[in-house]
């Protein structure tokens, strides 16, 4: 049976895909390859069907493509060795295991009865001597639960319960004289500290675990995902361990065929005399092949041929890496092309606008491994030559490895020393360290980062002015922060300032002052719009619900208004229901004009009503023009 199988819950095959067809083609092309012999030195293994042939590919995001005899169970044999080595590293630590087993290719056959003459320990954990030494240490770690621990571990790797094939175990235990000799050689060299039989028996048990070709591909994909099973999300291993496992698989996994394998195929791999071959493309996918006929090295003939063909056809060779083509910096531009949605007072705008080109925005993307991050750091340094505040948007970055996080933190420190400021935004999915995710450095959105950058320009500019005046001067705090306490005389507020005193008075006597505590919902979407708001003090933000079927709904900031600014005007005139919420960011107050009061004004003092409408039209015109400019610019970014 063939078919794409997703996570364990969906076993029914789905219509075959291109990848499926590609694997089926491999089956076809190699079906007539009948070189090699089924293993018989362990008598039970001789019962395998030499025609069996299955291929499975499992991707790092959990898709599994399976063809041929992918469901047939066979024993894992030596493919268990790297995983048992990973278990030992996890339980006992790499530093301990390095004293018990080396990590050097031996060039010997898998069953060589030899220790490294230099160190007196087995050369690596992939040959039987190293594997038996490894099993002995797992047994010694917990004699009572060693086998249970092993089976639990292997089952988590495969994503389903696995069990020992008792017939193969009995057959191997009864015929395993060579391995018994190896275990006594290890005892003699004090690599195994006690009687060798229990550790050897655990080794026989691990080799006799029954698996399918699909299980092996999922186990390989778990290694590709640095120890996380891409189907179940369980994490039986971590990157520090899987790196070591893949290293010894790459150098020793195919025994004295390891060199030719790395040359032809270029993937960390492991074979077993049960007929399995498992190969890993780190970070991308796992491949498994099952076909019992073996070559002289004890590797599956069809298994080797299939992996070689897939490596060449799909360009999977570890050393065949195309140079970084897509730039990790998707786009970069200045603060003149994109501003925050914080509406600035005339006074603030007079300071900020001439300096906007000193804000530099960089949008990064993809996996920022060292090579990609080096490219980003170069762009940041370039931006810092004439920029005061650099914003790095990480929203499209899929991965930021630990080493890159450390380099980014160092870059931020270097910029700070040079009097520049690096701000990050949209990084919550990257789990940044505290030093990089602190307040006033990392922002949830680009809009908020732009607002912070504008505030920094105010600080820098007002700081310089103050320094120039030698006095406290009017620092940025006076410009950027909301005015506390009683509101300014409404007549002096921006909108009404240009009006003649009598007209202004006719309007202001109809306004009512209302106080709002920080966090108050001033007006809600879908509410009637019969009030006009003129900010007297504090800050007020408008939020629009962003409803996406595939993502959690959220509120996006449309604008933030401060003293002298009007909001609620669009709906006030259209009479339509409000489309957004308005919230008080800080304690503040607003002058309200009720629709009834406006209608009275139109009756009693049409000139004043017209003057107000004119001012509102000018204000709305400015807002529409700026929004239009920003929208147009943003489309090209
Ligand atoms: O110890 C043995 O000989 C077997 N249990 C495992 C050998 C093996 O799978 C060699 N790999 N190709």
Residue-by-residue DSSP string for 280-328: EETTTEEEEEE--EE-TTS-BHHHHHHHHHHHHHTT--TT-PPP--S-S
Query: Ligand 1: does its nearest atom lie under 6 Å from the Cβ of 179?
Result: yes
Query: Ligand 1: does its nearest atom lie under 6 Å from the Cβ of 82?
Result: no
Å from CA of 159 to ligand 1 middle: 24
Nearest CA owner, ligand 1 atom 4: 77
Å from CA of 38 to ligand 1 middle: 13
- Nearest atom in ligand 1 to 110's CA: 10
- Nearest atom in ligand 1 to 299's CA: 12
Nearest CA owner, ligand 1 atom 1: 128
**Which residues are tagged catalytic?**
78, 81, 203, 255, 273
Task: Determine the pLDDT at residue 491.
Answer: 65
Domain segments of the chain as ranges: 17-314, 329-477, 490-636
Q: How many whole angstroms separate alpha carbon 417 and alpha carbon 527?
A: 50
**Tokens 């099952």, residue?**
290
Class of domain 329-477: alpha beta
pTM (predicted TM-score): 0.71
Query: Ligand 1: does its nearest atom lie under 6 Å from the Cβ of 300?
Result: no
Q: How many whole angstroms separate alpha carbon 116 and alpha carbon 106?
A: 8
Residue 67 in 3-state DSSP?
strand
Task: Determine the pLDDT at residue 280.
Answer: 97
Longest dimension (CA), the chain: 112
Q: Which CATH number fits domain 490-636: 2.40.30.10, 3.20.20.70, 2.60.120.10, 2.120.10.80?
A: 2.60.120.10
Nearest to 51 by CA among 69, 29, 75, 24: 69
Q: Do 482 and 518 touch, CB atoms closer than 8 A?
A: no
**Element (H or E) spanning 271, and its range?**
strand 269-271
Q: How many whole angstroms separate alpha carbon 246 and alpha carbon 334?
A: 44
Three-state helix/strand/coil letters over 370-407: HHHHHHHHHHHHHHHCCCCEEEEEEEEEEECCHHHHHH
Query: Ligand 1: does its nearest atom lie under 6 Å from the Cβ of 207?
Result: yes
Å from CA of 275 to ligand 1 middle: 10
- Nearest atom in ligand 1 to 273's CA: 9
**Tokens 């400021």, residue?**
421
Å from CA of 126 to ligand 1 middle: 10
Nearest to 280 by CA among 231, 371, 216, 235: 216
Task: Determine the pLDDT at residue 492.
Answer: 64
Query: Ligand 1: does its nearest atom lie under 6 Å from the Cβ of 77?
Result: yes
Nearest CA owner, ligand 1 atom 11: 272
Q: How many whole angstroms separate alpha carbon 471 and alpha carbon 97?
A: 67
Q: How many whole angstroms separate alpha carbon 321 and alpha carbon 343?
A: 48
Query: Ligand 1: does its nearest atom lie under 6 Å from the Cβ of 182?
Result: no
The whole-number mean pLDDT for each consecutive block of 10 residues of the chain, a chain of 637 residues, reads 42 57 94 96 97 95 93 98 98 96 88 91 96 98 97 98 98 97 96 96 98 98 96 96 96 87 95 97 95 94 96 90 79 92 88 95 92 88 92 95 89 90 94 85 93 93 60 42 53 80 91 94 86 92 85 84 87 82 94 92 95 91 86 77
Å from CA of 398 to ligand 1 middle: 40
In testing the pocket of ligand 1, which one of 203, 272, 294 has its CB within 8 Å of the most ligand atoms? 272
- Nearest atom in ligand 1 to 179's CA: 1
Å from CA of 636 to ligand 1 middle: 61
Length of the chain equals 637
Q: Cα angle at 590 between 584 and 595, to 5 degrees? A: 115
DSSP strands (E only) in 63-121? 64-68, 74-75
Query: Ligand 1: does its nearest atom lie under 6 Å from the Cβ of 78?
Result: yes
Q: How many whole angstroms separate alpha carbon 363 and alpha carbon 474?
A: 34
Task: Determine the pLDDT at residue 480.
Answer: 42
Residue 241 in 3-state DSSP?
helix
- Nearest atom in ligand 1 to 298's CA: 12
Q: How many whole angstroms separate alpha carbon 203 and alpha carbon 182?
A: 12
Å from CA of 316 to ligand 1 middle: 27
Q: Do 340 and 451 touch, CB atoms closer than 8 A?
A: yes
- Nearest atom in ligand 1 to 78's CA: 9
Å from CA of 273 to ligand 1 middle: 5
In testing the pocket of ligand 1, which one of 128, 167, 297 has its CB within 8 Å of the most ligand atoms? 128
Query: Ligand 1: does its nearest atom lie under 6 Å from the Cβ of 272?
Result: yes
Q: How many whole angstroms separate alpha carbon 148 and alpha carbon 202?
A: 10
Cα 543 to Cα 176, 517, 524: the distances in Å are 73, 17, 10
Instruction: Give the residues across from 513 on adjacent strands.
Output: 591
DSSP strands (E only) in 13-123? 37-38, 54-59, 64-68, 74-75
Query: Ligand 1: does its nearest atom lie under 6 Å from the Cβ of 128?
Result: yes
Å from CA of 95 to ligand 1 middle: 26
Using DSSP bridges, classify how beta strands 54-59 and 64-68 pair: parallel, antiparallel or unpaired: antiparallel
Task: Determine the pLDDT at residue 479.
Answer: 47
- Domain 17-314 matching CATH 3.40.50.720: the answer reads no
Measured in Å, how far apart are the chain's first and last C-alpha atoms?
Answer: 50
The token pair at 100 is 């018990």
Q: How many whole angstroms separate alpha carbon 410 and alpha carbon 205?
A: 50
Query: Ligand 1: does its nearest atom lie under 6 Å from the Cβ of 206?
Result: no
């Amino acid at each position: 049976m063939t078919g794409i199988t997703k996570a364990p819950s969906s076993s029914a095959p789905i219509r075959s895909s291109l990848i499926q067809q590609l694997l089926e083609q491999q089956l076809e092309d190699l079906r007539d390859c009948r070189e090699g012999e089924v293993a018989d030195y362990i008598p039970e293994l001789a019962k395998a069907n030499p025609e069996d042939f299955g291929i499975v590919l499992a991707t790092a995001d959990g898709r599994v493509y399976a063809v041929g005899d992918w469901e047939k169970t066979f024993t894992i044999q030596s493919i268990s060795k790297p995983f048992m080595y990973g278990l030992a590293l996890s339980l006992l630590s790499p530093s301990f295991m390095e004293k018990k087993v080396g990590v050097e290719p031996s060039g010997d056959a898998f069953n060589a009865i030899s220790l490294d003459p230099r160190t007196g320990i087995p050369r690596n954990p992939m040959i039987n001597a190293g594997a038996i030494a490894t099993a002995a240490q797992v047994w010694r770690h917990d004699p009572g639960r060693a086998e249970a621990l092993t089976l639990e571990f292997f089952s988590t790797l495969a994503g389903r319960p696995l069990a020992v094939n008792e017939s193969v175990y009995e057959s191997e235990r009864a015929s395993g004289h060579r391995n018994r000799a190896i275990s006594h050689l290890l005892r003699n060299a004090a690599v195994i500290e006690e009687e060798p039989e229990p550790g050897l028996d655990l080794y026989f048990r691990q080799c006799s675990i029954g698996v399918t070709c699909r299980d092996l591909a999922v186990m390989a994909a778990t290694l590709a995902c640095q120890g996380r099973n891409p189907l179940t999300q369980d994490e039986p291993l971590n990157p520090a361990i899987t790196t070591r496992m893949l290293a010894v698989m790459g150098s020793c996994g195919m025994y004295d065929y390891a060199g030719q394998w790395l040359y032809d195929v270029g993937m960390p791999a492991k074979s077993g005399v049960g007929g399995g071959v498992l190969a890993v493309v780190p970070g991308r996918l796992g491949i498994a092949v099952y076909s019992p006929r073996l070559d002289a090295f004890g590797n599956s003939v069809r298994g080797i041929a299939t992996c070689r063909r897939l490596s060449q056809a799909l360009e999977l060779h570890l050393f065949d890496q195309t140079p970084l083509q897509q730039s990790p910096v998707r786009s970069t531009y200045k603060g003149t092309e994109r501003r925050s949605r914080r509406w600035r007072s005339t006074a603030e705008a007079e300071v900020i606008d001439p300096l906007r080109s000193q804000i530099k925005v960089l949008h990064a993307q993809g996996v920022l491994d060292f090579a990609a991050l080096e490219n980003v750091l170069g762009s940041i340094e370039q931006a810092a030559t004439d920029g005061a505040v650099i914003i790095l948007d990480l929203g499209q970055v899929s991965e930021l490895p630990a080493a890159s996080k450390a380099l980014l933190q160092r870059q931020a420190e270097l910029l700070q020393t040079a009097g520049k400021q690096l701000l990050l935004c949209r990084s919550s999915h990257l789990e940044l360290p505290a030093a990089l995710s602190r307040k006033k450095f990392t922002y949830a959105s680009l809009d908020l980062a732009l607002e912070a950058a504008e505030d920094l320009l105010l600080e820098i500019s007002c700081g310089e002015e103050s320094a120039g005046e030698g006095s406290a001067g009017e620092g940025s705090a006076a410009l950027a922060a909301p005015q506390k306490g009683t509101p300014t005389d409404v007549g002096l507020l921006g909108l009404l300032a240009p009006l003649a005193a009598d007209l202004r008075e006719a309007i202001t006597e109809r306004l009512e002052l209302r106080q709002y505590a920080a966090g108050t919902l001033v007006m809600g979407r879908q509410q009637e719009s019969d009030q006009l708001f003129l900010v007297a003090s504090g800050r007020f933000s408008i939020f629009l619900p962003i409803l996406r079927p595939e993502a959690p709904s959220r509120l996006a900031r449309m604008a933030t208004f401060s003293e002298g600014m009007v909001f609620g005007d669009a709906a006030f005139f259209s009479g339509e229901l409000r489309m957004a919420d308005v919230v008080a960011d800080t304690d503040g107050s607003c002058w309200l004009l009720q629709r009834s009061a406006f209608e009275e004004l139109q009756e009693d003092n049409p000139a004043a009503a017209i003057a107000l409408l004119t001012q509102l039209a000018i204000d709305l015109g400015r807002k529409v023009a700026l929004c239009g400019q920003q929208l147009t610019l943003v489309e090209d970014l």
